[in-house]
Amino acid sequence: MVDSEKSPDGCNCAEEPPPSYNELNDTHSHSDSGRSMSLAGKVTVGVCAGLAMAVVAGTAPFVSPALRKVCLPFVPASSSQMTNVLQMLKGKTGKLVDLGSGDGRIVIEAAKRGFHAEGIELNPWLVAFSRFNALRSGVASKTGFYRRDLWKADLSTYDYIVIFGVETMMESLETKLAREITATNHVLACRYPLPRWTPSEVIGEGIDSVWLYTKDSKVS
């Protein structure tokens, strides 16, 4: 009887039939596509995370100098600064170091002019790039590039110490040099002078200036 299917409120609404096999199958195919979407999502997230990590690993050595007590960023010497340094080194020879050697341009040019030249540099990418440049320039055997903190380097073993510094570091560097240099050492300060020492020679003007100091330049 049709009446027996009526609900207590008199409504003639039959119970919903159970889902058919096809409907069940539909549900499965939806959840399958959901699963494959989430796999694609996972792959995308993985690739993005990998790329982000590679970018961080690649750029961190360039950014990290800014986070140190003395911020000495990678700003390579300009051609006029290079000319003035090489002019100051003309006719001289011996063992040279560039403190914070960047891409190795000073070290490589000094080696081409007969120096045994070394670079001390924090950034491992720049150390590797400098070694490659030295090899390409045919001076690999006359150069050495070391991943090291310039504040921990022993400067007493070098005849010429080159620094393209920032103003804020020069006083601390002066103190370190005063402790370590002897009569045989010379210091070439580029861009900024040592604040209290008297240079024995100056080449260039403004930001291109190079100041030469010896042991006699020290204030007593």
Ligand X SMILES: C[S@@+](CC[C@H](N)C(=O)[O-])C[C@H]1O[C@@H](n2cnc3c(N)ncnc32)[C@H](O)[C@@H]1O
Query: Which residue, 120 or 181, is less far from ligand X as judged by CB?
Result: 120
Q: Which residue is nearest to ligand X (CB)?
A: 100
Among the listed residues 192, 199, 153, 158, the one whose alpha carbon sits nearest the alpha carbon of residue 176:
153
Tell me if 178 sits within 8 A of 162, measured CB to CB. no
Query: Which residue, 118 or 121, is less far from ligand X as judged by CB?
Result: 121
Query: Which residue, 120 or 189, is less far from ligand X as judged by CB?
Result: 120
- In the complex, the smallest distance separating the C-beta of residue 41 from ligand X, rounded to whole angstroms, is 39
What residues line the site for ligand X (CB under 6 A)? 65, 72, 74-77, 98, 100-102, 105-106, 120-123, 126, 149-151, 164
DSSP string, 160-199: EEEEE--GGGHHHHHHHHHHH--TT-EEEEESS--SSSPP
- In the complex, the smallest distance separating the C-beta of residue 81 from ligand X, rounded to whole angstroms, is 7
- In the complex, the smallest distance separating the C-beta of residue 112 from ligand X, rounded to whole angstroms, is 15
Query: Which residue, 23 or 167, is less far from ligand X as judged by CB?
Result: 167
